[in-house]
Copies of this chain bind each other. A is one copy, B any other.
């Protein structure tokens, strides 16, 4: 006869973990994030309780979005600019949004390698994108991790978009100010128009403005200035700025820091900062509600199957959309009824 070990029930002292996170314990922060990122139903309630504990201490950081064309040098910039801030006693966290990521544990090493100096600075914390899941899921988790980092005392949080397409839209909804990195070069003046991402930017940065690139960068800056002139500002009362920058020589770094400070001064005075954050929270609430319905529909095999067959019927013109939805919704209600009866 064999013996077997009963799985140890998962227990965690949430108030203690919360306290340690607030005290700046990095191991505790990492543990808390892992809890929030976990898809295990055992972990989830603990993650939510932790969020609850730390909520009153969140909200204090400058949340800065970083996006840009591939090869625009976002990591090099984050390393240089992040170190600059960390040296000035800012506490800097770097989070990534990358829905295409299939990277596992090794990704941490990857991210830490590409920002090696920053990764080892006592004032900095680098966290790679949670792996797998939908873009909505990645967004939710990044949002929650932001709150945790704020409670842990980080006052500057970079949210870097590594993915393509929709991930910029998702990242925009997580931050206060959005920096868009472009490169100089023939025809590149309009590269930013793709997908309308340029319209989400508060600051457009012509990067790698050094060496023989410097004069080209200045020309690109003027071209972009003409373009953004006609764009409706994404942040009310802040017409987008265009800047040249070099992470190699440090040119433009001081100006960028001042520009970001100015952004927060202007938007806080006008009330736009508060207003945008409220809007983001409303949006989050709405999304979370829809997610709940989806979860319910997809957790049950029967409902999942019905969903597929209804979609097929619609495509085959055998059912109208209202009919198909009605059938699915009635099955959903019946399912709810049965489940609650069982409780």
Task: List the interface of chain A (C-beta within 8 A of B).
Answer: 48, 51-52, 55-56, 58-59, 187, 190-191, 193-196, 199, 226-227, 229-232, 278, 281-282, 284-285, 288-290, 292-293, 297, 310-311, 314-315, 317, 319-326, 328-329, 333-334, 336-337, 340-341
**14 additional contacts, CB 8 Å, given A193-B193, A334-B340?**
A55-B317, A55-B320, A59-B317, A190-B227, A191-B230, A194-B230, A195-B199, A281-B314, A281-B315, A282-B315, A289-B293, A293-B293, A336-B337, A337-B341
Would A325 and B292 be within 8 Å (CB), given that A194-B232, A340-B333 are in contact?
A: yes
State the oligomeric state as a number of copies. Answer: 2
Q: Which residues of B contact A329 (CB under 8 A)?
A: 289, 292
Q: Which residues of B contact A292 (CB under 8 A)?
A: 325-326, 329
User: Among B281, B290, B328, B337, which residue has its beta carbon within 8 angstroms of that of A337?
Assistant: B337
Q: List 22 A-B contacts (CB under 8 A).
A: A52-B319, A52-B323, A56-B317, A190-B227, A193-B193, A193-B199, A193-B230, A194-B230, A194-B231, A195-B196, A195-B232, A196-B196, A278-B315, A281-B314, A282-B315, A285-B321, A285-B325, A289-B328, A292-B325, A334-B340, A336-B336, A337-B341
Contact call B288/A290, Cβ cutoff below 8 A: no
Determine the residue in chain B with the shortest Cβ distance to A189: B230
Contact call B48/A322, Cβ cutoff below 8 A: yes
Distance (Å) between the CB of A54 and the closest chain B CB?
A: 9
Q: Which residues of B contact A297 (CB under 8 A)?
A: 289
Distance (Å) between the CB of A92 and the closest chain B CB?
A: 24
A59 to B194, CA, bound (A): 31
Q: Which residues of B contact A231 (CB under 8 A)?
A: 193-194
Determine the residue in chain B with the shortest Cβ distance to A329: B292
User: Among B48, B227, B282, which residue has its beta carbon within 8 angstroms of that of A193?
Assistant: B227
Determine the residue in chain B with the shortest Cβ distance to A56: B317
Contact call B324/A285, Cβ cutoff below 8 A: yes
Contact call B230/A51, Cβ cutoff below 8 A: no
Q: Which residues of B contact A288 (CB under 8 A)?
A: 321-322, 324-325
Q: Which residues of B contact A226 (CB under 8 A)?
A: 190
